[in-house]
Structure 1
Amino acid sequence: MTPLTHQEEEIMRCVWQLGLCNVKQAIELLSVPRPPYTTVASVFKNLERKGYVASRLEGNNYIYRPAIDEQDYKRTFLGNVVGSYFKNSYKELVT
């Protein structure tokens, strides 16, 4: 699983929250100041290229859905943190 940038992770949280969404719906969930539409659309294309979202064209809009479960992402991310910073020891993490 390719790691996400902060901006990509923020968009993924929107997708996981909404289930299905277009770029405009995701932007509405982002904190102010919101990034431009074109920036968010580019992030969605990157997420699709990395395999995190899938899309379908409906009229003039792409509708995105998560291709990776949020819990799977969290589990992998936490596993990487534990492995990298705590020598694979969850006990060390808690301490």
Structure 2
Amino acid sequence: MELRELTKAEEEIMQQLWTLEKAFVKDVIAQLPVPKPAYNTVSTIIRILEQKGFVDHLAYGKTYEYFPIVSKNKYRKFASNKLMQSYFNGSVGQMVSYFVEEEKIDIKDADELMKLIEKMKD
């Protein structure tokens, strides 16, 4: 199955499902910030996520318990690759350089990056 990009609302619901691991619609709503979206809104978004192949469910009569079938790590890899390809010509260097120039990476983060690079050399 090829992953598709999530809308902002879909991603917000997936973040909750990844955290909860399995949940009923009411459980997802309980985790969302105020103002809480309507039950039907969240239910519809979860059904769309199911159609896109991100979520599945267990049925208990007419009640469904949903759970993610695409891991957060798998989607993170997809989204970061898409970002890198779309905005940085596929270059990790350009992407890191951008974040450094925008001061989104502090000295501690830069030090961690350098340690990772050194570890890759070994």
The interval holding the TM-score normalised by the smaller chain is over 0.9
- Residue ranges of structure 1 left out of the alignment (5+ in a row): none
Equivalence map 1:77-88=2 (5 Å) = 77-88=79-90
1:10 alignment partner AA: E
Q: What is the TM-score when the length of structure 1 is the normalising length?
A: 0.97
C-alpha separation in 1, matches of 2:62 and 2:20:
20
Between the aligned residues of both structures, percent identity stands at 36
C-alpha separation in 1, matches of 2:36 and 2:86:
33
4+ residue segments displaced more than 3 Å: none
1:94 aligns with 2:96: yes
C-alpha separation in 2, matches of 1:31 and 1:19:
19
- Residue ranges of structure 2 left out of the alignment (5+ in a row): 98-122
- Alpha-carbon shift at residue 60 of structure 1 (Å): 2.9
C-alpha separation in 2, matches of 1:59 and 1:18:
21
| Structure 2 residue aligned with 1:43 | 45
Q: For residues 10-68 of structure 1, what are the alpha-carbon distances to aligned partners after superposition, in whole Å with 9 as ceiling and x for unaligned?
A: 00000000001010000001111011000000000000000000012113310001010
| Structure 1 residue aligned with 2:12 | 10
Match of 1:26 among 25, 28, 32: 28
Q: What is the TM-score when the length of structure 2 is the normalising length?
A: 0.76
The answer to which structure, 1 or 2, has the higher relative contact order (CA under 8 A, 6+ apart) is: 1
